Chain A
Amino acid sequence: MTEKRSYEVGLGSDALRQPRRIVFITRKTSAKVKGEVGAQLMSFPHVILRESIAFQVLTIALVVLALFWDAPLEQLANPLLTPNPAKAPWYFLGLQELLHYFPPVLAGVLLPTLVVLALVVIPYFDVNIEGAPLWAHRSRRRLQIYLGVLAVLFVLLAIYDAWTVLVPTVLVGALALIPYFSPTSNSRFQKLLGSRTLPWWVMTWFIAVALTLTAVGTFFRGPGWSWVWPWS
């Protein structure tokens, strides 16, 4: 057996289907140079047809819903009559819930700006192209950093009494620790957790917090932003 080459050579010879091309795939390459995955179809009619069907299904669903659900309309706007609580549109209620705990500059300005900036720069941090799981390398060192960050977050949130942020943070934080302590489990759920990367955990944490805050702000907040049960 000959020595293993550090690159692979592929040759596409079906000139009717695609132009002739030679590919050199060296190891540790960027995700850009990936082999073609599966067959290709002509956009017309395959994409156009599917999109048309999707559009029709969506339109029918919207029409049916619009027949049975009525858009809200309250009294004429009156600057002298403040409703209690005055609520922003639902997609900003997470932000309003944050404002309840933190100083306005932090919750209303700094955090939203940081979230948008973080979303923008996500694709420019391509340090983990191979998609290695969170605990795959240097797991002891990572655990120390992870627990440190989690503790700082915990203390900060506890100081501000921001428990609607704290609860999802602790839950997701604990979930991420499961694969560290039982790396060789056979359950499907644990295998799924064990294969997740750091960015996956950060995004899942973000979504969990955002959903909790939005749900609490929408359904569980009454006069003076006090806790109410939606059914009482």
Chain B
Amino acid sequence: MATIGWTHQRLEQLRQTRAWRSIFRRGPARTNRTRSLAVFGNLGLHVLPVKVREKSLSVRATYYLGSISFFLFVVLTVTGILLMFYYHPAVPDAYRDMKDLIYVVSNGVFLRNLHRLAAQAMVVAVFWHMFHVFYRSGYKPPHEFNWVIGIGLLMVTLFLSYTGYLLPWDQLAFWAITVGTNIISYVPVLGRPIRFLLLGGHIIGQNALLRFYVLHCVILPLAAVVLIAVHFWRIQKDGGLTVRDDHD
């Protein structure tokens, strides 16, 4: 107990310093006013509502599926950036980099496992989130537009996962992308041009790997960040999560 008291005292002293008060322009978050300031005075948190309904916080209301999808995106961003340090989007260097991750890089296997696992989990979480929102009637007015944003996020998630699938450049990656991009060429009239644009040629080779790499590491994550921000912000603007007044 004595240590807690000491820590508390030091923390209080820290809060009084000029540097601390220049960063957090409010007192300790003990009143409703300073707690509100803690949310809308913070760039990261201000997309959230200042108040939420108590019922919307229960586990059964959401199973935290939206949050879990977002957290998986965060884990994927961190592990993805670390993996980029060890990866060359080139044929066949990409495959050698996978071998290096397994045999040379410290904790390389763990890093790759974590990224792959979180990627599969995110696809599951996003789908489950959508179905759960549907069954809870969360798509109904005034949440219509946020539902549409959510469908956009589902598409981005699937495309992120799909573009990442090619990057290890092994048999699994190559033929999975072959099957997928062959489906695109069935689109009437536009099919072959779209496939050409996506692959940077008629076959899955060096150009396709580079395009998938840029899509996977730059374009799609940026799209996801923008859509996630709008998705969160609209929850607040649409008056909070849907809660039921009954008990089923």
Contacts and interface: CB of A to CB of B under 8 A. Distances in A.
Given A96-B179, A109-B188, A123 B139 contact: yes
B172 A72 contact: yes
Chain A interface bracket (under 10, 10 to 19, 20 to 34, 35 or more): 35 or more
Interface string B59-85: 000001001100110110000000000
B174 A79 contact: yes
Contacts of B196: none
Interface stretch (B6-14, B49-57, B211-219, B221-229): B49-57
A95 interface: yes
A11 interface: no
A43 B49 CA distance: 7
Contacts of B50: 42-44
Nearest to A124: B144
Nearest to A117: B151
A45 B35 contact: yes
DSSP class of B's interface residues: helix, strand, loop or mixed? helix
A54 B68 contact: yes
Interface residues on B, range: 35 or more
Interface in B111-166: 112-118, 120-121, 123, 127, 130-131, 134-135, 137, 139-144, 147-148, 151, 155, 158, 161-162, 165
A12 interface: no
B173 interface: yes
B117 A66 contact: yes
The 7 closest A-B pairs by CB, nearest first: A77-B174, A123-B144, A71-B116, A66-B113, A86-B175, A104-B186, A108-B183
